Amino acid sequence: MSSRKTILRGSCRPCVRSLRALLAVSLCHFISGYSDKDRAHDLLSKYPLIDGHNDIALRLRILHNNQLSKINLTHLNNVATDISRLRAGHVQTQMFAVYVLCGAQQMDAVRLTLEQIDVVRRMCTEYPDFELVTSTEEIRASARKQKIACLISIEGGHSIDSSLPALRMFYQLGVRSMSLTHSCNTPWAESSSKLYDVFLRSNNSLTSFGKAVVDEMNRLGMIVDLSHTSWGTATAVLKHSKAPVIFSHSSSYAVCDHSRNVPDSLLHKLKKNRGLIMVNFYGPFVSCKDKAMVSHVADHFDHIKRVIGAESIGIGGDFDGGNSFPEGLEDVSKYPVIIQELLKRNWTEDELADVLRRNFLRVFEEVERVRDQLIWNKPSEEQIPLEEVANPCRLVLRQPVLIAV
């Protein structure tokens, strides 16, 4: 009997030591005042944020006509984004959205998109805090240099004017992601919004040309973004894409039944695709009201984690894309607030490290891996049928007819 007691005591000693160590750490934290706020900042310092969507380029157009020489992006009023606040929010990589209004479709969307790419490229090369990046390797290198990495994303497939050559040229300019729609249908994909009565189709939410767009994005190594697409288009893309996709700034439909959010059925498909949903902070999308609190945003994180796990979640704040954000999450300096809230809800540091950074890097790396597998595929020469575009301003290049006089 005594020998058995000795064995039991010996086997429990590591457990006792572990418990004592845990209690000592907890007591130390209690005595020193080490709080969830401190933990959030420490975690963000170790795993600085990659954010999927920011609309400062749109604000620069509206407020300053893209005249960077007349402003100071380190400290900028009347917006939610500037360099000092990105630093305070521990943002290490920001996907900057290049967005032009749907009214430009069939008009000058390509020119306007080029001008918005220009302003993002300029701000990310003229300010030493920023660095323009185009790959996961460059993101990591930028982090080592303590730079804020800039990724360029086109918001709305109408920007390419149904042209695969235009898509390829945007890639050459540094674009690494594109959402297939914004608030209007394109001739080849369907929006979640009914705001614009254009390119309406029945039972064809992703046309043959739309699949060609996805294929070419896969070949290039450009991330397919499904935020703003209809559920039908999202379902078709998730079935068709060879690479993981993202929702760059969308939340949970089960928590807030807004058409911009993602239902559980699509979340399961996204999980199978190994893709990513980057939770949006915009008030009407998180609370279904103009007013929202930090707890409303955290509810979306909790629900999505229950459905598909923390390994499928990122953050896409959507700052400067609207004017109604939760109290306490008003600008890009406030990201530690949501991390603090999730820590209070017993999210582990490993889960939050995934959400902050590792999940996006995994998805982008897999997109690059698919690109490398398709390296021998030639650029697609597929063209959209003119009757599907139905654009009287679309010129068909032919030899001009010379009239003798």
228 is catalytic: yes
Quickly count: other Cβ atoms within 10 Å of residue 379's Cβ. 12
Question: One of 51, 53, 320, 366 is an active-site residue; which one?
Answer: 53
Question: One of 155, 215, 216, 320 is an active-site residue; which one?
Answer: 155
Residues 6+ apart with CB under 8 A from 148: 83, 86, 87, 91, 92, 93, 94, 129, 130, 131, 142
Question: One of 228, 258, 296, 300 is an active-site residue; which one?
Answer: 228
Residue type, 147: K
For residue 337, give the nearest of 37, 68, 83, 8 by alpha carbon: 37
Inter-helix orientation angle 231-240/264-273, to 10°: 20
Question: One of 158, 182, 300, 303 is an active-site residue; which one?
Answer: 182
For residue 353, give the nearest of 116, 46, 31 by alpha carbon: 46
Distance of alpha carbon 184 from alpha carbon 196, whole angstroms: 5
Distance of alpha carbon 260 from alpha carbon 248, whole angstroms: 11
Question: One of 82, 90, 158, 249 is an active-site residue; which one?
Answer: 249
Distance of alpha carbon 84 from alpha carbon 105, whole angstroms: 35
For residue 187, give the nearest of 169, 173, 200 by alpha carbon: 200
CB 323 within 8 A of CB 275: no
Question: One of 82, 161, 225, 318 is an active-site residue; which one?
Answer: 318
Sign of CA pseudo-dihedral 295, 148, 157, 212: negative
Distance of alpha carbon 367 from alpha carbon 295, whole angstroms: 33
Write the burial class of residue 399 (CB in 10 Å: 0-12 exposed, 13-18 middle, 19+ buried): exposed
258 is catalytic: no
240 is catalytic: no
Give the chain's end-to-end CA distance (angstroms, integer): 120
Helix (H, G, I), strand (E, B) or coil at 324: coil
318 is catalytic: yes
182 is catalytic: yes
Quick one: DSSP state of residue 32? H
Residue 242 has which token pair? 């060879």
Question: One of 55, 331, 341, 354 is an active-site residue; which one?
Answer: 55
CA distances from 345 to 66, 172, 248, 341, 365 (A): 42, 43, 24, 6, 30
- The region, left, alpha or beta by phi > 0 then psi within -120 to 50, assigned to residue 297 is alpha
Tell me the catalytic residues.
53, 55, 155, 182, 228, 249, 318
